[in-house]
Structure 1
């Protein structure tokens, strides 16, 4: 009998411990999110377009992209860098010059995912650091055959002003060489 009571006591304690950790701020945040979701029934999606330049520097003193997993050479050398994974924190600017107005950063990773062509799997979050969307973000996930003149990617989500974002982005190389690339992006986002 004592074991059953003791067991019941521990079950009750462990069920209620998580409830004790909730603060009034998390409760208010939950209420705010509930109100936001309730408004969706009456909201129409907004369409927002962005244009910017992505600066990816893979070598030199201002490097913004680093290989964190090298291409495995034990299988066979790959001209496409198959298997390599890079992580990046790249500036986004209004014009192609790195000195032009900074709009935000692109943070994420790309993995070289093809044995036949120079193509990467891109997972990138665009974080706006200026303007009316400061602090909001949009996330892209998709295949990027980097040598093609124009590529298209899906928008898979967003935060802040871009909650429940969906849409697409197109990219074109403005400048590309062995040490860096400047990529022109046009982004179309549907959000609430």
Structure 2
């Protein structure tokens, strides 16, 4: 029988991830994980996000001894290079100019750690986005309106960023935003949590 009493913790203070997790109608807390996110030497993008997702979950585990802790991490890669978050408008415009007409793969790592048993599930979900050919003026207008300064790849797919794409491909569109809910829902059900939950 599914256990509706298991308490969930999202090891992230990302508002995007919290908004996604709210879609499952499960109560949860959030916690800020203290994790060094520096890539390891020669680390592949997909290995990096899986490692960091688990590291984030473990970073808060001691504070929540009888919880299911959700960790997640995301990066974007193009031509074998990991794309960072731009931080300012100048870098965002330059990043989008370089991605015009190109395909970017987003890797979203996911971890579910049961702190009561020590059981851990870790994996990553890829999603690809192909940009259409973008003019400098379109890029400038987009960055000014959507302000994607804290987003890998310099766009918000859940916002106006969708207007920059020629096509998208992947098994789970929520992975692109930062928390793959299809995989997470499956893992939560396997851990005994009712998804969807019973009506209040």
TM over 0.5, yes or no? no
Find the structure with the greater CA-based Rg: 1
Q: Which has the higher contact order (CA 8 A, sep 6+)?
A: 2
TM-score of the superposed pair, with normalisation by structure 2: 0.30
More helix by percentage: 2
